[in-house]
Structure 1
Amino acid sequence: MADTFTTRIIDVTTGSTETVHDLTDACASFLRDVARGRDGLLNVFTPHATAGLALIETGAGSDRDLLEALRTLLPADDRWQHRHGSPGHGRDHVLPALVPPHATLPVVGGAMELGTWQSVVLVDTNVSNVNRQVRLSFLG
Structure 2
Amino acid sequence: MRQAVQEVAIETPGQGLHDFTPAVLRWVADTGIATGLLTLFVRHTSCSLLIQENAAPAARRDLERWIARIAPENGGYEHDDEGPDDMPAHLRAAITATSLSIPVTGGVPMLGTWQGIFLFEHRAAAHRRRVALHLIGE
**Is TM more than 0.5 here?**
yes
- Aligned with 1:136 (options 123, 133, 136): 133
1:30 corresponding residue in structure 2? 27
Q: Percent identity?
A: 26
1:86 corresponding residue in structure 2? 83
Q: Is 1:117 aligned with 2:114?
A: yes
| Structure 1 position 79, deviation (Å) | 1.9
Structure 2 unaligned residues grouped into runs of 5+: none
Contact kept? 2:16, 2:122, Cα under 8 Å: yes
- Cα 1:88–1:126 shift into 2, 3 Å: closer
Q: Tell me the amino acid that sits aligned with residue 18 of structure 1.
A: Q
Q: Is 1:65 aligned with 2:62?
A: yes
| Structure 1 position 110, deviation (Å) | 0.8
Cα RMSD, aligned residues only = 1.3
Q: Tell me the amino acid that sits aligned with residue 109 of structure 2.
A: M
Instruction: Point out the more displaced range, 43-52 or 82-91.
Output: 82-91
2:43 corresponding residue in structure 1? 47
Structure 1 unaligned residues grouped into runs of 5+: none
Q: What is the TM-score when the length of structure 1 is the normalising length?
A: 0.91
1:100 corresponding residue in structure 2? 97
Q: From the two aligned structures, give the one with the greater strand fraction.
A: 2
2:3 corresponding residue in structure 1? 5
- The alignment of Structure 1 onto Structure 2 pairs a total of residues equal to 136
Contact kept? 1:18, 1:127, Cα under 8 Å: yes
| Structure 1 position 88, deviation (Å) | 3.6
| Structure 1 position 121, deviation (Å) | 0.5
**Displaced runs of 4+ in structure 1, greater than 2 A?**
none
Q: What is the TM-score when the length of structure 2 is the normalising length?
A: 0.92
Q: Tell me the amino acid that sits aligned with residue 57 of structure 1.
A: E
Instruction: Point out the more displaced range, 124-133 or 108-117.
Output: 124-133
CA distance in structure 2 between the partners assigned to 1:96 and 1:88 by the alignment: 12
- Measured against aligned partners, the alpha-carbon deviations of 1:67-114 in whole angstroms (never above 9, x if no partner) come to 111111010114222111121421101122211111000001110111
